[in-house]
Chain A
Amino acid sequence: MKHIYLFILVILSCIGCGKEFLDKKRNANQVVPASAKDFLALMDYKSMMNGNITSRLLLGAGEEYIVADEVYDAINIVNYLPEKRAYTWEKGDLFEDKEFQDWNITYARIMYTNLVLAGKKSGNSAQETEEWDKLRGIALFHRSWNYFRLMQHYGKPWKKEMENEICPIPFRTDYDLEVKERYLSYKDYYEHLIEAVEEAIQLLPLSQPAKTRPNRSAANLLLSKIYLQMHDYKKALAHAQECVSLSLDLLDFNVIEQTTASPFKEDYGLSNPEILFYHSSEGGYFMSDRRMNVSSNLLNLYETRDLRSKIFFLEQEDGRWVFNGQLSGNNYTYYDGLTTAEAYLIMAECLARDNALDDAQAILEKLLKNRYEKGADYKLKKGLSKDQLVGKVLEERRKELCFRAIRWEDLRRLNAEGMYTETLERTVKGERHENKWDTGVWYWGLPKRS
């Protein structure tokens, strides 16, 4: 009987211990991020950072396709209305009362990058320092990539005179919800981007095990694009050259099979040496295979022996032409990441603008050699003037970079510059809709609750 008192005491005393008992994680998969491995896992979440829906409006407003009138009419689902309004470059509020998924996803990504950039570096060994540096480079690249994308949607096209105007795009560098967003001037916004990408160039390695992670050449190309938007052709050239020198050779389109399924593999850039940073976006309602029809003014640009016209476009049974050359390898997402070909074209344009006409022509022809049938005459005419050469480069940009959300970027900067301007038009239900280069809609208002 005495033993029972001991038993009671033992049990009662056991009750006292147990604070560590409550330290066990509830969900085995959950973690408070602290190590570089944790933050890298966030940046490697490719469905968020490298895919998803972010460029529907850019793809739509770029005028590279049209749809039949009944298709235009049949959209009455609220989610697709911004796309419908962007199709005809409607003035006024695109989003009315609604949020916009593309906006939400882009800012969610920015939140991820801010969380990663706030991570405190742990450890001092050389290997750990390298890890954290690489991580910082990746995060800075992603943040700049997404802010650059937002600028193409909601910021005015760059003109030096307006650099001190306040840009309406909310700017966040802190994931903490207590911190309010800032609104910077255009000048500060671009400066911020440039600084970030320059730092990324220093930190990123030459190559990464997968194309979903940016590398040094991708960062150079991004910086080049930023300078191009600011009409700073010298700096754009420097970084495009750096990009090309760090990249692999161009892909010869002669080796690509022309099929009805996607000519490019769906392997996130693994087998395509031209892909520097893999990124894609869903295309939106109009851009489905069953609905779109590639604009004839684009199709007519290609010469007969240009392989791109056969690889990129497919004729449907009902006479429509659809875009089939997505580098993403499937026909419901559109590749809008970085490729070496774009670096080549930037180099050619900048050299031509700088009057280095022979150099510009040589670069351009190097690209075309890989795009025309073997043995075909891909060389340009001799003796082109500066304007003619720049015009040729711009035409090649349209042919090479079609359906990658780049046309809208180009139109904005060219129309803001005022030299190689272009007005867009589409006809819907007999009515002609025009987007004039000087008075048209080249950026949109913000969605609700932004």
Chain B
Amino acid sequence: MIRFLLFIGFAVLVYVAEAQVYGVLYSDNGDRLSGATVFLQNNNKSSQTDKEGKFSFSDVSLPDSLFVSYVGYTEQRLWVASEQGDFKLYMQKDGSQIEGVEVVHTGFYEVPKERATGSFTVVNNELLNRSTGGNILQRLEGLASGVQFVNPGGTETADIRVRGIATLHSDATPLIVIDNFPYEGDISSINPNDVESVTVLKDAAAASIWGARAANGVIVITTKQGRYNERSQLSLSSNVTVSQKPDLLYSRNRLPSSVVMEIEKEKYEHGGYYPVNNRELAFPEYVEMLIALENGTLSRADFDRQEAILQQTEVREEAMEHLYQSSVSQQHALSGRGGGERYNYFFSANYDKGRADIIGNDHNRINLNLQNTFKPFRDMEVSASLWYAEQRGKNNGIGINDIKGYSSYVGLSPYTRLMDEEGNALPVIKDLRRAYVQGAEEMGLLDWEYRPLEDRDLVDRRSKREELRANLGLKYSFLERFNFLATYQYVKGSGQSSVVYDKDSYYARDLINKFTQPDGKMIVPNAGIYQEGDPNASASHSGRAQLNYTQSFGRDHVIAALAGGEIRSFVQNTFPGKTLYNYDPELLLGSASYNYPEYYKSNPGGFNLRLPAPSSTRRQFTDRYLSYFGNASYTFKERYILSGSARWDGSNLFGVKTNQKGTPLWSVGGSWDISKEGFYAVDWLPYLRLRTTYGSAGNVNKSVSAYPVIYYGAIDAHTGFANATVRSVGNPSLRWEQVNTLNFGADFRALKNRLSGSIEYYVKNAHDLIGEDILPTNTGIYKGSLAASSNLINYADLRTKGWDLQLNSRNLVGQFQWNSTLLLSYTTNKVKEYKGNESLPVSNYLNGNIPILGESKDVLWALPWYGLSPENGYPTVLIDGIESQDYTAYFNQLELSGLVREGLRVPPLYGSLRNTFFYKGFSLDFLLSWKGNYKFRRMSNFGGVYGMVYHSDYVDRWQKPGDEKRTDIPATRKIGDNVTYSASIYDDAEVLVTRGDQVRLQDINLSYTLPRSATGGFAELRVFAYARDLGILWKANKQGIDPDFANAEYRTPKSFSIGVQANF
């Protein structure tokens, strides 16, 4: 602000009248741009560039701001202080992917994409702003070549795969880097409005820069910074997003109420399912009616009337009406930046707020940040920045899973009603039998009914997360070729949560009643309850020192090198959360003095219970890292580049030998700009650059140990002894995983730069991958045991191969423009060696991830299907060619060769196509994505409806002879008829495996940009409308299932946004 005033003052002093401003405008590839608008703000004069790209103004008062705009190009603005002849201005294309202009941020250095030998993808600011949404990772979907979201709609790093997988058991998440340091915090605290660009590092060159975790790819997030010599600008943007209410009726895991009621009646009449002597545990409502009818306490007429109401009720419709809503969120961002010759700054303030798709859940986020860089001396640059993020959430929503009843008898009753005709909240059967619950008050207890719609307002669940990041940097240039950089980062994070239960809430009444003694004494007082979740706090310190060297020798040789070290410490603490009973939410008073070890008599009785004990969790995790790295590149005649890098990565791994605490990584690469060669004469391909890298990286695994490891637990309340559990018996011969990656790439521009892109081919060889050996259980190591990770051995080698293609084309240029970007990737993997247990029962292959030599890790196996028997509708199997229904014998003789190899579970082929149309300030942009060549297994009617597992396939099951011709869904086994494998013969069969190939319309963006000249120099405005998750355009399966939501309760609802962005 002060600076701005100073400028104005200066300007007044240097007021020059009747000056001239003129120059030439070029586009980024060197063409002269005609028809561009040139505008002097204070003078309010506007002009257009001529056929030769020239413009001129005479008789203008200086100083002034010069704005240059052309549709499809980023607006440029300059401060013209004094008369200056012959401006040469270069315009940068919007969303340009053309090489040479893009800068790759690796987090250690920046390099123009043209000079990089490794494999990088850059997602620039414009692409990031195509979509709305508060999560930065989500904004990469479909836009970054080689980046695949394996969990649709995912927002976590774990949902992303960069170029397939390089490990089987160790951590496979890519590394996130923010402002040059690895980021271990919560990615949801980063506001996308603060992000300038994202670079994805994909090959060995990437790993050898970043170390062991980078074997899975690195996502480098660069935040917005100030720039030197830039006029102060202010930006404001706002948007609102509304999503449809989730459609719960999409779920196939349900049956209509009338069908479920029939099944419940069958179970009741058979006996044994609803024990007569059970007084307390909840039965479904319909069963209670049947019991009452039999007892005579319910008349036939009343029964029929109530039955009819239940048959018409569908709990999901009730839920959609009363529990769910359409989610609405808004984002507001304000930022400013500017800079002089020795100083620049950037600040931003963002506020996001929204309500989720369940009534009662909402969240908001505030981000504040300030960045300053200044040069106290000519050769020294000091920067300091401060980032603060605070997120708050309320989590009082009641979802469909919260209205389930006692799991052994009730589950999710499809005829549950939430509200009666007069608008009163209805009670829902939860844990106890209705008769018992209704008689509670007579017994001297509190009302024990659970009324969800009422309860929602009686529980207050809140959470809060804060993060503070402070960066300090120093850059000192000396001797003209050296740069010394030192940076330090401090990140402090904390999280808390709490729940306040009102005394009338179900949780409180339930607990109070449970502990009311036979003489009426209330162990838990009749008041509210306050429960704090275990708070956590984390702090990390990171420091890096680096020396850069750049020198040109003569005209042809350039050498650049850097070396340095990095140290990092990250400490996470979890503390015990408190519980207060007798809590008054108004006065904030409560008490924690209760007799926790004592066993009290409880209601409904039978068990003696102890009060829920306060938490005794106290944990501390310390991660420490130490690395040394070095990098060098040699460029000859600006067309041959040779580069190499090496790094040693160490960390405080536990339970390993000292020399296993670190791992080395290295890579070499080269590139050749063929198009610059004298002999190169391909006219239609004016730019062609070939590049290659090869490198080796080690990957560490924190959950394995060479020595036995035990964990101490809390002191035992009864014996007073310390106790410990075995977490691993150790494996002294464990080695770290090793991944060698080879990458070939070609970047090109063709057809007068109308077509550009790159094609890459890569091979990753992973050795000594760590995975689970199937151990005999007499070792004491079994699935689910605390020591289960003892079975980790180096058991396999994996080769991953693939190619990535990226094509950008400018299909139509001129007044009406049409650009397309095509991303296509193909990746497969194959197990090259396997040292684990080979003679395993077949069931392990059907449901497990056992690597098989020569097969992909993602292969999907299925049982062959021989149809249903015409006599009883059960599946038939063939044993030695003879039909049989002896499933046990079938499984015992089945081998891997007898299984059907269906295909791959994870799509090897995927990609996206983006088309953008520009016309007179309007732009329309839509993104299609597809996945191909893969299969998925869908759920069907299994486990038997008598076990309360409902699926809509039940209605199409075999019911009479002849049905086997029209359906593959087996007949339901009679009650009590328990035949081993009868479920898996169908569940794992090939008939339930379906092709997943699909084409999706991911989103559409329509925007209109108003250039500055149109608003009288006030601002550049952009308004847009955006729609997302618009659904599937084509799918290969015939069952009408959306493969991304095959067995889900509901699909991600469509969402629509509108927004405005203004730059002042």
Q: Which residues of A contact B (CB under 8 A)?
A: 1, 4-5, 8, 11-12, 14-15, 18, 21-33, 37-38, 40-42, 44-46, 48, 68-71, 73-78, 81, 96-97, 99, 103-104, 107-112, 115, 170, 172, 175-177, 181, 209-210, 212, 260-262, 266-268, 270, 289-291, 316-318, 320, 329-332, 447-450
Q: Are the C-beta atoms of A27 and B620 separated by less than 8 Å?
A: yes
A75-B731 Cα distance, complex, nearest whole Å:
41
Can you list the 4 inter-chain pairs with the closest CB atoms, starting with the nearest? A70-B272, A111-B780, A15-B565, A41-B724
Taking a contact as CB atoms closer than 8 A, the residue among B621, B626, B661, B721 that contacts A210 in the complex is B721
Taking a contact as CB atoms closer than 8 A, the residue among B608, B626, B843 that contacts A330 in the complex is B608
Task: List residues 620-657 of chain B with CB under 8 A from any CB of chain A.
Answer: 620-624, 626, 628, 650-655
Q: Are the C-beta atoms of A18 and B567 separated by less than 8 Å?
A: yes
From known contacts A24-B622, A76-B946, A76-B947, infer whether A99 and B729 are also in contact, taking CB-CB under 8 Å.
no
From known contacts A104-B777, A172-B779, infer whether A332 and B607 are also in contact, taking CB-CB under 8 Å.
yes
Q: Are the C-beta atoms of B725 and A48 separated by less than 8 Å?
A: yes
B319 at the interface (CB under 8 A from A): no
Give 1 or 0 for each of B522-559: 1 = CB within 8 Å of chain A CB: 00000000000000000000000101000000000000
Q: How far is the CB of A184 from chain B (nearest CB, A)?
A: 13
| Of B364-372, B438-446, B974-982, the one with at least 4 CB within 8 A of chain A | B974-982
From known contacts A31-B724, A99-B777, infer whether A21 and B707 are also in contact, taking CB-CB under 8 Å.
no
Q: Which residue of B lies closest to A11 (CB)?
A: B545
From known contacts A24-B624, A107-B777, A177-B779, infer whether A318 and B980 are also in contact, taking CB-CB under 8 Å.
no
Q: Are the C-beta atoms of A32 and B655 separated by less than 8 Å?
A: yes
Using Cβ atoms and an 8 Å threshold, which residues of chain A touch B478?
4-5
A sample of 13 inter-chain contacts (CB < 8 A) reads A4-B478, A28-B619, A30-B655, A31-B710, A42-B723, A42-B725, A45-B723, A45-B724, A99-B783, A176-B729, A261-B601, A447-B777, A450-B778
Using Cβ atoms and an 8 Å threshold, which residues of chain B touch A74?
272-273, 976
| Of B84-92, B129-137, B275-283, B814-822, the one with at least 4 CB within 8 A of chain A | B275-283
Using Cβ atoms and an 8 Å threshold, which residues of chain A touch B619?
27-29
Taking a contact as CB atoms closer than 8 A, the residue among B273, B622, B774, B980 that contacts A96 in the complex is B980
Q: Are the C-beta atoms of B621 and A96 separated by less than 8 Å?
A: no
Q: Are the C-beta atoms of B777 and A449 separated by less than 8 Å?
A: yes
Using Cβ atoms and an 8 Å threshold, which residues of chain B touch A316?
277
Q: Are the C-beta atoms of A449 and B724 separated by less than 8 Å?
A: no
A47-B620 Cα distance, complex, nearest whole Å:
24
Q: Are the C-beta atoms of B278 and A290 separated by less than 8 Å?
A: yes
Using Cβ atoms and an 8 Å threshold, which residues of chain A touch B567?
15, 18, 21
Taking a contact as CB atoms closer than 8 A, the residue among A38, A109, A317 that contacts B277 in the complex is A317
A14-B724 Cα distance, complex, nearest whole Å:
39
A12-B628 Cα distance, complex, nearest whole Å:
11
Using Cβ atoms and an 8 Å threshold, which residues of chain A touch B779?
107, 111, 172, 177, 181
Q: Are the C-beta atoms of A290 and B711 separated by less than 8 Å?
A: no
Q: How far is the CB of A120 from chain B (nearest CB, A)?
A: 12
Q: Are the C-beta atoms of B780 and A32 separated by less than 8 Å?
A: no
Q: Are the C-beta atoms of B775 and A266 separated by less than 8 Å?
A: no
Using Cβ atoms and an 8 Å threshold, which residues of chain B touch A77?
947
Q: Which residue of B lies closest to A446 (CB)?
A: B778
Q: How far is the CB of A165 from chain B (nearest CB, A)?
A: 19
Using Cβ atoms and an 8 Å threshold, which residues of chain B touch A73?
272, 975-976
B782 at the interface (CB under 8 A from A): yes
A28-B778 Cα distance, complex, nearest whole Å:
31
A329-B275 Cα distance, complex, nearest whole Å:
26
Using Cβ atoms and an 8 Å threshold, which residues of chain B touch A318?
276-277
Task: List residues 298-343 of chain B with CB under 8 A from any CB of chain A.
Answer: none
From known contacts A21-B626, A27-B620, A210-B720, infer whether A8 and B980 are also in contact, taking CB-CB under 8 Å.
no
Q: How far is the CB of A103 from chain B (nearest CB, A)?
A: 6
A106-B81 Cα distance, complex, nearest whole Å:
85
A331-B782 Cα distance, complex, nearest whole Å:
28
Q: Which residue of B lies closest to A18 (CB)?
A: B626
Q: Are the C-beta atoms of A41 and B976 separated by less than 8 Å?
A: no
Task: List residues 500-519 of chain B with CB under 8 A from any CB of chain A.
Answer: none
Name the residue in A22, A68, A261 with the highest tally of chain B Cβ atoms < 10 Å from its Cβ. Answer: A22
Q: Are the C-beta atoms of B729 and A115 separated by less than 8 Å?
A: yes
Q: Which residues of B contact A (CB under 8 A)?
A: 270-273, 275-278, 377, 380, 476, 478, 484, 486, 545, 547, 564-565, 567, 599, 601, 605-608, 619-624, 626, 628, 650-655, 661-662, 702, 705, 707-713, 716, 718-727, 729, 731, 774-783, 785, 787, 790-791, 841, 843, 888, 891, 944, 946-947, 975-976, 978, 980-981
A315-B1046 Cα distance, complex, nearest whole Å:
51
From known contacts A4-B478, A25-B622, A41-B721, infer whether A32 and B729 are also in contact, taking CB-CB under 8 Å.
no
Q: Which residue of A lies closest to B705 (CB)?
A: A32
Q: How far is the CB of A178 from chain B (nearest CB, A)?
A: 8
Q: Are the C-beta atoms of B547 and A45 separated by less than 8 Å?
A: no
Q: Are the C-beta atoms of A110 and B724 separated by less than 8 Å?
A: no
Taking a contact as CB atoms closer than 8 A, the residue among A23, A32, A76, A331 that contacts B607 in the complex is A331
Using Cβ atoms and an 8 Å threshold, which residues of chain A touch B785?
104, 108
Q: How far is the CB of A51 from chain B (nearest CB, A)?
A: 11
Taking a contact as CB atoms closer than 8 A, the residue among A32, A42, A48, A266 that contacts B599 in the complex is A266
Q: Are the C-beta atoms of B780 and A108 separated by less than 8 Å?
A: yes
Using Cβ atoms and an 8 Å threshold, which residues of chain B touch A32?
654-655, 705, 707-710
From known contacts A76-B944, A108-B787, infer whether A15 and B547 are also in contact, taking CB-CB under 8 Å.
no
Taking a contact as CB atoms closer than 8 A, the residue among B721, B781, B978 that contacts A111 in the complex is B781
Q: Which residue of B lies closest to A176 (CB)?
A: B729
Q: Which residue of A lies closest to B573 (CB)?
A: A28
Give 8 A-B pairs besides A41-B710, A45-B713 with Cβ atoms closer than 8 angstroms: A25-B654, A30-B655, A45-B724, A76-B944, A96-B980, A112-B726, A290-B278, A449-B777
A405-B547 Cα distance, complex, nearest whole Å:
73
A22-B724 Cα distance, complex, nearest whole Å:
25
A1-B478 Cα distance, complex, nearest whole Å:
10
Q: Which residue of B lies closest to A27 (CB)?
A: B621
Q: How far is the CB of B782 from chain A (nearest CB, A)?
A: 4
Q: Which residue of A lies closest to B977 (CB)?
A: A76
Q: Are the C-beta atoms of A99 and B787 separated by less than 8 Å?
A: no
Q: Which residue of A lies closest to B844 (CB)?
A: A449
A295-B622 Cα distance, complex, nearest whole Å:
58
Name the residue in A44, A69, A75, A449 with the highest tally of chain B Cβ atoms < 10 Å from its Cβ. Answer: A449
A406-B654 Cα distance, complex, nearest whole Å:
44
Q: Which residue of A lies closest to B655 (CB)?
A: A32
Using Cβ atoms and an 8 Å threshold, which residues of chain A touch B655?
30, 32
Name the residue in A30, A44, A317 with the highest tally of chain B Cβ atoms < 10 Å from its Cβ. Answer: A30
Q: Which residue of A lies closest to B280 (CB)?
A: A290
Q: How far is the CB of B48 from chain A (nearest CB, A)?
A: 51
Using Cβ atoms and an 8 Å threshold, which residues of chain A touch B716?
44, 46
Q: Are the C-beta atoms of B653 and A26 separated by less than 8 Å?
A: yes
Using Cβ atoms and an 8 Å threshold, which residues of chain A touch B273?
70, 74
Q: Are the C-beta atoms of B731 and A111 separated by less than 8 Å?
A: no
Q: Which residue of B lies closest to A75 (CB)?
A: B978
Q: Are the C-beta atoms of B782 and A38 separated by less than 8 Å?
A: no
Using Cβ atoms and an 8 Å threshold, which residues of chain A touch B484?
4, 8
Q: Are the C-beta atoms of A22 and B729 separated by less than 8 Å?
A: no
A107-B605 Cα distance, complex, nearest whole Å:
35
Taking a contact as CB atoms closer than 8 A, the residue among B277, B710, B976 that contacts A33 in the complex is B710
A5-B547 Cα distance, complex, nearest whole Å:
12
Q: Are the C-beta atoms of A37 and B782 separated by less than 8 Å?
A: no
Q: Are the C-beta atoms of B709 and A11 separated by less than 8 Å?
A: no
Q: Are the C-beta atoms of B607 and A330 separated by less than 8 Å?
A: yes
Q: Are the C-beta atoms of B606 and A289 separated by less than 8 Å?
A: yes
Using Cβ atoms and an 8 Å threshold, which residues of chain B touch A26?
621-623, 652-654, 702
Using Cβ atoms and an 8 Å threshold, which residues of chain B touch A15?
545, 564-565, 567, 628
A316-B605 Cα distance, complex, nearest whole Å:
13
Q: Are the C-beta atoms of B778 and A172 separated by less than 8 Å?
A: yes
Using Cβ atoms and an 8 Å threshold, which residues of chain A touch B719?
44, 46, 209-210, 212, 268
Using Cβ atoms and an 8 Å threshold, which residues of chain B touch A22?
624, 626, 650-652, 661-662
Using Cβ atoms and an 8 Å threshold, which residues of chain B touch A109?
780
Q: Which residue of B lies closest to A99 (CB)?
A: B777
Q: How far is the CB of B145 from chain A (nearest CB, A)?
A: 36
